[in-house]
Amino acid sequence: MGSFTYLDDFLKEHVKRGPAGCGCAVAQNGELLYEGYYGYADLEKGKPITPDSIYRQFSMTKVVVCTAAMMLFERGRFLMNDPIYEYFPEWKHTMVAEEGEDGAFVIRPVKSPIRIKDCFSMAMGIGYDGEDYTHRMMKQVRANLAEAVGDYTLRQDIHAMAQVPVRFDPGTHFLYGFGHELVAGLIEVVSGRKVSEFLQEEIFDPLEMCSTGYRYFGDTRERMVTPYSMTEDGSRVPVTAMFDERHEPDAKYEAGGAGLFSTVRDYLTFSQMLACGGSFKGQQIVGRKTIDLMRSNLMNEQQMKDFTNSYLDGYGYGYGVRTMMHPGAGSSTSVGEFGWTGAMGTYVSIDPSEKASVVYMHNLDPNMEEYTHIRVRNMAYGALE
């Protein structure tokens, strides 16, 4: 085993001027190589971060949900080129809001239907934010839905969102957003189970992930770390995290793009399953070649322009995950290393070539992702023998 001294020293210092607390673990071929926990789960109470600390995953939910959908793909339940309207008939007549040179929008039919592949790869045309016509209409549609039914479900959201024109013809651009809600809805349609039920029965239970879920159970509420916002003077102020209401036991919405909570150890087990060919303790959870498909780059030249930034340097995007294409851009990982990031600082890196994975977690806004994750990644892989 290599030395993780530099990673350990970095995390010790990191909690002094960054997140209140953090956890990190590295494993290879089923063996735990490094595990470290520093700082506080709650500064005001003096409650330390421990291996039992639970973090909001936000967009790291996507990796779990897309893995679940890939399991159904390899069971023959759908094809990637299937139009989504075959599973959600209300999406049969999707429109696009095309902006003209004068800033006005023309609403016209899409040139081709949204495919399941477009939903996985964030190429279906509805983003999370913005001030464009599509986003304004999305907010209005959801406001109307909430007024009509109160706490709505994923399927009700998908049905309502079919009214919203997309921003571009499907498959032509990358736009981070609603695609993975459609992937989660697809799981429900083809499996006949709620997303939470499928994840519990097909992933969490087999992998012995006892601290992961959408809604509080047992002592999970008490083990959740306090989220903090960092002010300009470096003070850390406790805040209410976005979507926390969806963790309540009576909440209805189960998202594909966010909503899970987990521990470092639970998520490390999940990541090791993917790094080691899809198996865990002799049980095949998902096929090795399905994982290879999942981490294949799907982007065309335009989509790469939409996607690439300094944090994602060297990466393309596959079926719900970033995937390393050019390690020489500044990474010590292998071609095909993959994973994703959560909005408040969670991070996973999975390298099947090395059968290695890295999980790092904190809950902080701003999340310091570029400063933290790239350093953690490089130090962790640098310590592998």
Within the chain, all domains assigned CATH 3.40.710.10 are found at 5-57+209-382
- Put simply, whether the predicted model's pTM sits higher than 0.85 gets the answer yes
What is the band of 81 on the pLDDT scale with cuts at 50, 70, 90?
very high
pLDDT of residue 335: 97
What is the edge-to-edge ordering of all strands in the sheet holding 347-351? 47-48, 31-42, 21-28, 356-361, 347-351, 338-341, 322-324, 315-317
Across 135-146, average pLDDT: 96
pLDDT tens profile 222-248: 999 999 999 999 999 999 999 999 999
pLDDT tens profile 346-384: 999 999 999 999 999 999 999 999 999 999 999 999 999
Across 215-226, average pLDDT: 98
CATH for 5-57+209-382, among 3.40.710.10, 3.40.50.1000, 3.30.1340.30, 3.90.1150.60?
A: 3.40.710.10
pLDDT of residue 2: 63
What is the percent of the chain where pLDDT is above 70?
99
Maximal CA-CA distance, the chain: 61
pLDDT tens profile 9-64: 999 999 999 999 999 999 999 999 999 999 999 999 999 999 999 999 999 999 99
pLDDT of residue 116: 98
